[in-house]
Amino acid sequence: MSKLPDFLPMGAATGIGSLPHTDPQAALQLIAQMWPEVPFWPHLPRLGIREQMIEQALGACWRFFVPCEIGYGYRLKPGQRQVCMDELSRGVAVLDEHAATGFFAFEHAIKAGIFQHARALKGQLVGPMTLACQLFDGEEAFVFNEYSLTVVSRYITRLALWQMQRLQQWKIPVMCFLDEPCLALLARDPFQHIAGQVSSQYFGVT
């Protein structure tokens, strides 16, 4: 197995991922112009709700949830907990062409030679804690249930690996960023007591 070349950033810039475009080709042209050395696939949330960070990551599992009536996030449909956990645990973890338009457009752009100066490729994905904070079983967020948090974390790991394996076909280094705004909540109640569980998802779970 051939080893990928080492990636030394040396001041090379990349983007966080989300862009305000609704045309993926326009987004890709901007990326090629502004971030030619470490291009990323454009996350395009303005295209529709399925393209937003949480909905995009849920993929096929989106069908098990309905929007919460009050506040934010998604609530499991009645009677769907076990089938949802099974799908997250053992189902295929992939990005959907109808929910991640920018990712598949990015692949086509690489094949077309738009990113000839790329020294690395970057992907991105919502982090497990942030996703688990947005999903509810009744009144309880997944993040407060150790089993649910572990299932979500392993699902996100598989989804990140799928993304990276797809991009590795071009034989240059690939990185994947996890977007975790909810990590900031661990410093306050009622999240402080789960800080150890959340940390284990990054540093101890296999």
pLDDT at residue 205 is higher than 70: no
Within 77-205, strands assigned E span 121-126, 135-137, 140-141, 174-179
pLDDT band at 195 (very low <50, low <70, confident <90, very high): confident
Q: Tell me what pLDDT residue 184 has.
A: 86
Kindly indicate the confidence band of residue 2, based on its pLDDT and cuts at 50, 70 and 90. low
Which tens digits make up the pLDDT trace of 159-169? 999 999 999 99
**Tokens standing for residue 77:** 């449909």
Find the mean pLDDT for residues 87-105: 96
Asked if 96 and 60 touch (Cβ cutoff 8 Å), the reply is yes
pLDDT at 4: 63
Per-residue confidence at 175, pLDDT binned at 50, 70, 90?
very high
206 has a pLDDT exceeding 50: no
Q: Which of 59-63, 73-77, 110-114 has the lowest mean pLDDT?
A: 59-63
Residue 124's pLDDT is 97
Mean pLDDT of 16-21: 95
Taking residues 149-162, what's their average pLDDT?
Answer: 95
Cβ 48 vs Cβ 108: under 8 Å: no
Q: So where are the chain's domains?
A: 24-203
What's the sign of the alpha-carbon dihedral 84, 177, 4, 103?
Answer: positive
- At 114-138, the pLDDT tens digits run 999 999 999 999 999 999 999 999 9
Q: Say which residue, 191 or 14, is predicted with more confidence.
A: 14
Model pLDDT, residue 202: 64
pTM: 0.89
